[in-house]
Amino acid sequence: MSTDLSRLSLNQETIKQWSLPELTEGCVKAGIGQVGLWRAPVQEYGVERAAQLVKDAGLTVTSLCRGGFLTAVDPGERARALEDNRAAVDEAAALSTDTLVLVSGGLPSGDKDLYAARERIADALAELGPYAQERGVRLAIEPLHPMFASDRCVVSTLSQALDLAERFPAEQVGVVVDAYHVWWDDQAPAQIARAGAGGRLHSFQLADWITPLPAGVLLGRGQLGDGSVDFRTMRRQVEATGFDGPIEVEIFNEGLWARDGAEVLAEVASRYLEHAC
């Protein structure tokens, strides 16, 4: 079994119980040189202060999550969403990451028009793409499993994500391949190849699909190896495109959050080597 952790990135939410200083210290001790960060804890700590902390620890920020929620119809809500996404771009730039993950947003209350919601996302990307590019940041659309289409993300497949992204330069807009969200889709291999060919595969994330789902399905991601996802095959598909970037483990799981953080990190590293290498 491989012992190479050089491409592993630990997403902050995987060990949510850790503060940002604990995260950086834990990763350094474990020999993990990359982290994915979330806006809320970074803002709470202070963006500039967080950037300095990570830099001093010698860590690379592989992504910032999240921007998006761009489907509102109300003009005031849309303006506020655009303002928040511009702030997210600025935060990503301050953290020296080139990837801002976008969760596009669900259907507004009372709305059932998925097509129109996706068009509003495209309208927003037309404004945000150039702003991000000027600051060295790429917008990465993350398709979410269809069970989240109503309330979180009307973009459910890589095909839908790429149909949006390809309206804009690859330097501005690409996609996230999150194994948890796309493992079930028999078109995913072809769409991964499509993303790679267009230079739009901006992030690769791992979490396992476990059943039964918990009552709060958002927190239903499993530790690698505990569920149904064939990570090794998906990694081969991603790397066949020429992708050699970080592989980010992002797990939302209350069971993991209740455990000792160092123990969870050691398990993440072990499971990554066992199931994704």
Which of 209, 272, 205, 269 lies closest to 238, judged by CA?
A: 205
Cα→Cα distances 97→54, 108, 124, 132, 138, Å: 11, 31, 21, 12, 9
The single-letter DSSP state of residue 65 is E
| pLDDT at residue 34, as a whole number | 98
Q: Write out the DSSP string of 218-245.
A: GG-EE-TTSSS--HHHHHHHHHTTT--S
The answer on pLDDT for 176 being more than 90 is yes
DSSP E strands, the chain: 8-11, 34-38, 60-68, 99-103, 138-141, 173-178, 201-206, 208-209, 221-222, 247-249
Tell me the percentage of the chain whose pLDDT exceeds 90: 97
Q: Give the whole-angstrom CA distance, residue 200 versus residue 162.
A: 8
Each residue's pLDDT tens digit, 33-43: 999 999 999 99
The answer on pLDDT for 216 being more than 90 is no
Residue range 239-252: mean pLDDT, rounded: 98
Q: Which residues pair with 178 in a beta bridge?
A: 205
Residue range 54-71: mean pLDDT, rounded: 98
Each residue's pLDDT tens digit, 124-171: 999 999 999 999 999 999 999 999 999 999 999 999 999 999 999 999
Going 164 to 251 to 267 to 99, the CA torsion angle's sign is positive
| pLDDT at residue 215, as a whole number | 80
Angle at 9 between CA 4 and CA 13, to 5 degrees: 140
